[in-house]
Structure 1
C-alpha cells in the first residue's frame, strides 16, 4: 500500500505575541492573554467573525451564538451528548466503525508482490471520522467507509464552502449584507441550502430534519444517541436540526485533521515510528491491549499519548481566528492599550510554538512530553490544553475526539504487528 496524505495547510507561525492584521483586527498568541480573554467570567464577547459560520444567517447554533447567556444555556443542554454521557455503547460504536475501516484497508488497500495499491489515507480518515460522528449523532453511519466515497457530496460541500467562509470571516460586513438579502424569502430559498436538495449541505439538512421529525412522532421511542441527548435536555426542535447538522461538520473535520497531522508526523519519522510500534507490540505481548483496544488501555501507553499531544501541538486542528471583541472601556494587553470593539483573533499555530516548548518548538519531538521538571511540564500542559479551547469555548466533544485518536492510531499498527508476528512464527515453524 502506498499511502498519500493531503498537502499540509499553510501555517501562521510566530508573528509576535500581539500583531495588527487589519484596521480593527489584532492577532494574539500569548497563552496567558488568550486564557484571560476566553475565561468563563471574561467580559470579552464573540465578535462578528462567528456570523460567517452560520448555515442560516438568521439562526445561530452552539458554535455561532454570540449572545453569551444563550451560549451558556446551549452548552449546558448539549454537554452530556457531546461528552458521550447520554450515549449508549459510545466506545463500542467507535470500535465498530474503526473495525469496518480496517477491514476495508485489508481488502482494498493492501499491496502485495504482484501489485502496488495507491491509497489516499488522508481522505479515508475523513470517511472514517464522518461515519463515527454520524453514527453517534443519528444512531447509524452514513456509509462513507462502506462506499469509500463522498456520500451526498458532504465533503465536497464542506471544502467548497470554506473559501467563502474565509472571505466572510475577514470582511465581516459581508455577513450583514447576506443577512439582509436573506430576509427576502424568495432570495433566501435560492441562496441558502434547502432540505429538498439532492446533495451537498442541503441534503444533510434534509436528513437531519427527517430524523428529528421521526423523534417527535407519537409512538417514537427515545434513543440514547447525541440527538436523543439534545432532545432529552430540552433543545427545541428547529434548534436540534441546526445543531445536529453543524456537529457533523465540526466533529468530523477537526478529528480527521488531528489524525492526519499526527499520523503523518509519526509515519515520516522512523525513530518515532519504531518506538511507537515497539511500545504497542510490548503491550500486546504482555496482554495489556485488548482486541479492539480499550480507551483506558491506550491511556496507559505513554509514548502513544506523547505522540498524540505532539501531533495536536505541531498541527492544531483548529487554526481559525475565532475573534473576540474587546469590552467597553478597552483593555490593556501585553502593555498595549486596545480600544473597545477591537476584534482579537487567536493565533493557535503560533501559540503552540511558545518558548515553553523549547528552542525546537517547530519540530515534532514526542520526547519533550517526558520532561522531568514538574513545573516546566505543568507550564507546557497549560499551554497545550488551549488547543481544545478554554472556559466557555472549551471543546465539548473532547472525549469522543480523544477516543477516536487513541484507537485509530493504534489499530492499523496493531494489525501490522500481528501480521508480522504471524509471518515470523510460521517461518520459524518451517
Structure 2
C-alpha cells in the first residue's frame, strides 16, 4: 500500500509539472500572438508564435527563399520570429544600419564563438568593443597593404588561368566553377593571411583540398545553432560546459578546420619572428604582416595579441574564401547563359579593347573605367549575394524609429540581401540579369534616377559600422579574376549542363534553371556552373 501511495504521488507530481509546462507554453504562445509589442506586424502565425519555422528553413538552407515568399505575401515588413522583424525597403536599410542607428549586433553573433578567446570583429556585439576591434583591423587594411596584396592575388589568378585550359588547343575539360573558384580564393587567402599558398587549385592529391569543405561544415554547424529558437539557452550553457562539449561532438571537419587555423597561424608567427626587423624589401608583405605590424592608434602598442590574431585570421579566411567566390561564380553563371551571350560579348569587347594584354589588367583608373565589367559584377551580386538572409541587429535602450514607426529596445531588426535584390519597386524586372540597369544611358531608357534608386538598395558589402573591412581587397579579386580570364579565353556552358541553376524538382523559388541556386548558411553555398574555356580566337 505504501508503495502504491508513493507511486501515485510521483505520478501526480509529474502530471502537475507537465500541466504547468503546458500552461506556460500556452501562455507564451498567446502572448506572442496577441499581446507582444510586435503583435500587429504581419507574418505567418507559426512564425509569430515561435522561432521554429525560421530555424527550420535555416536548417534546410532555404531561409532566404522563405523570406522572399513572405515578403510577396505580407508586404515589405514581416515578423519572422516572435521578436524579429525583417524589412525590404531602402529607407529601412538606412534607419537600421547607418552609423547613428541605435542598434548593435545581436547575440546571433556571439554564438559563432568557439570559446571566449575566439572573439573577433564579427562576433563582438558590444558597440564600444566592436568599434575598438574594428579600428585595429582597419589599421591593417590600408591602401599600402591592399596594393601589396594585389600582387599575390594576380599571381594566383594567372596560375589558375593556366590550369583552366592546360595543354588543350580546343575547349577545356568541364570545370565546376564553384569548386574551382573556391580553391583559387582559398589559395589566395592562405597566401595573404598564413604566409603560403596551400596549392588546392593544383592537380593531384593534397590534404589541404579538404579545408574549403571543412569551412562550409563550420558555417553550417554554427549557423544552425545561431538561428536556433533556443539560442538564449545555448548562450547560457556555453561557458557552463557546452563550449568544451562542442569541441567533442562537432563534426570532424570543424575540428580539422580549427586545428588547421591554429597550426597555420603558429607557422606564420614563427616566420614573422624570423624576419624580425628586416627592411620591407626583405619582408613578406602579405596581410598577416600588416596585421602583426598594425598599431593601436590610441596607444601606439601592437594592435593584436596572439589570440586575437588567431580569431581574426579564422574570420578573414572564411570570409575571404566564400564571399568573393560567390560573387565571381554568380556573375559567370549569368554571363554564360545561352540567353546572355550578347552581354558576355559586350563585356569581352570592353576588356579586350581596353587592355592590350592580360598583364595590363591591374588595379587602377583603367580597370575602374570598365563600367560594364563593374555593372556585371553589381548585377551578379544583386542576384546572388554572398549573404542571403538578414544581418540581425538588436535595438538598444531608447528604441529606434524605422520608416516612421517605433520599435522598443530588445527587438531584433534586419534586412536580407537576397530579398533586397528582388524588390520589384526598386528594380522592376528584378528576375532579369540586366547589367545595363547600373549604367546611365537615356537612349536605352536608364536615367540617373534609375541608377540612384538601384544603388540606394544595393549593399553587397554592407554599410555603417558593420561594413566589410576587406571590400577593396574583394573587388580586386573579383575584377582581376573575371577580366583576366575573359581577356585570355573564350567561355561557354558545357552543352546540356544545368548544374547550378534551378530545377522543376526543387521547391518554391528554385525551379528556374536560369537562376543561380544559393544555399543559405550565413554566407552562401552553391554548385556549378559547368563551364569550358579555350584560348581566345580573336
TM-score by length of 2: 0.69
**For 1:146 and 1:381, how far apart are their aligned partners in 2?**
38
8 Å contact 2:394–2:412 — kept in the other structure? Answer: yes
2:535 is the alignment partner of 1:419: yes
How many angstroms does 1:162 deviate by? 2.9
- Pick aligned residue for 1:41 from 92, 100, 104: 100
Residue 231 (structure 1) aligns with: 292
Among 456, 466, 489, the alignment partner of 1:382 is 456
Q: Residue deviations 1:208-262, cap 9 Å, x none?
A: 1332354346957564322222222221221011111221001110000111111
Cα shift at 1:191? 5.1
- Cα distance in 2, alignment partners of residues 315 and 366 from structure 1: 13
The CA deviation at 1:56 is 2.8
Hey, what's the Cα distance between the residues in 1 that align with 2:349 and 2:434?
17
The verdict on how the C-alpha distance between 1:57 and 1:77 changes in structure 2, with shifts beyond 3 A counting, is closer
Per-residue CA deviation, residues 367-405 of structure 1 (Å, 9 max, x unaligned), is 111234323322322322x22111111111111111111
1:353 aligns with 2:427: no
Task: Check the 8 A contact 2:488/2:535 in 1, yes or no.
Answer: yes
Q: 2:377 aligns with which of 293, 308, 311?
A: 308
**What's the CA shift string for 1:284-326, capped at 9, x where partnerless?**
4xx4x55251123322222111111111111111124321111
Instruction: Find the aligned partners of 2:275 and 2:416 in 1 and give their Cα distance.
Output: 49
Contact 1:62 1:71 in 2 (8 A): yes
Q: Does 1:333 align with 2:402?
A: yes
2:350 alignment counterpart? 279
Using the TM superposition, give the Cα deviation of residue 170 of structure 1 relative to its aligned residue in structure 2, in angstroms.
1.5
Structure 1 Cα separation of the partners of residues 209 and 330 of structure 2 = 26
Q: Are the equivalent residues in 2 in contact too, given 1:19–1:27 (CA < 8 A)?
A: yes
Q: Distance in 1 between matches of 2:270 and 2:277?
A: 10
Equivalent position to 2:188, from 110, 127, 132: 132
Q: Which residue of 1 aligns with 2:68?
A: 13
- State the 1:81 CA deviation: 2.5
Aligned mate of 1:56, from 112, 115, 124: 115
Distance in 2 of aligned mates of 1:26 and 1:57: 29
Of residues 130, 134, 144 in structure 2, which corresponds to 1:85?
144
Name 2:269's counterpart in structure 1: 212
Matching residue of 2:470: 397
Distance 1:389 1:127, change over 3 A: same
CA distance in 1, matches of 2:432, 2:411: 34
Distance 2:487 2:481 in 1: 10
Cα shift at 1:278: 2.2
Q: Distance in 2 between matches of 1:400 and 1:17?
A: 33
Displacement after TM superposition at 1:140 (Å): 2.3
**Quick one: distance in 2 between partners of 1:330 and 1:179?**
29
Structure 1 residue 152 displacement after superposition:
5.8
For 2:217 and 2:121, the matched residues in 1 are separated by: 22
Report deviation, 1:281. 2.9
- Contact 1:49–1:323 (CA under 8 A) maintained in structure 2: yes
Question: Which residue in the other structure is 2:22 paired with?
Answer: none
For structure 1, the 5+ residue unaligned runs are 1-7, 423-430
CA contact (8 A) 1:78 1:229 kept: no
Q: How many equivalent residue pairs?
A: 406
Aligned-partner SS, 1:82: coil
**Structure 2: how far apart are the matches of 1:370 and 1:356?**
18
Whole-angstrom CA distance in 1 between matches of 2:76 and 2:124:
27
Distance 1:131 1:184 in 2: 30
Equivalents in 2 of 1:200, 1:337: separation in Å? Answer: 43
CA 1:406–1:156 in 2, change beyond 3 Å: closer, same or farther?
same
Q: Output one character per residue of 1:1-26: Cα deviation in whole Å (capped at 9) or x when no partner.
A: xxxxxxx9764426132210111111
Root-mean-square deviation (CA, aligned residues, Å) is: 3.0
Deviations 1:28-56 (A, max 9, x none): 22222222222222221111111232243
Q: TM-score, normalised by structure 1?
A: 0.85
**Structure 1 match to 2:359:** 291
Preserved CA contact (<8 Å) 1:88 1:225: no
Question: In structure 2, do the counterparts of structure 1 residues 219 and 294 end up closer, same or farther at CA, with 3 Å as the change threshold?
Answer: closer
Per the TM alignment, residue 188 of structure 1 is displaced from its structure 2 partner at its CA by 6.4
Rg larger in 1 or in 2?
A: 2
Q: Point out where structure 2 has 5 or more consecutive residues left out of the alignment.
A: 1-60, 295-302, 491-533
CA contact (8 A) 1:193 1:202 kept: no
Secondary structure at 2:118 match in 1: coil
Higher relative contact order (CA 8 A, sep 6+): 1
Mark the CA change 1:184 to 1:400 in structure 2 (over 3 Å): closer, same or farther: closer
Cα 1:393–1:123 change in 2 (3 A) is same
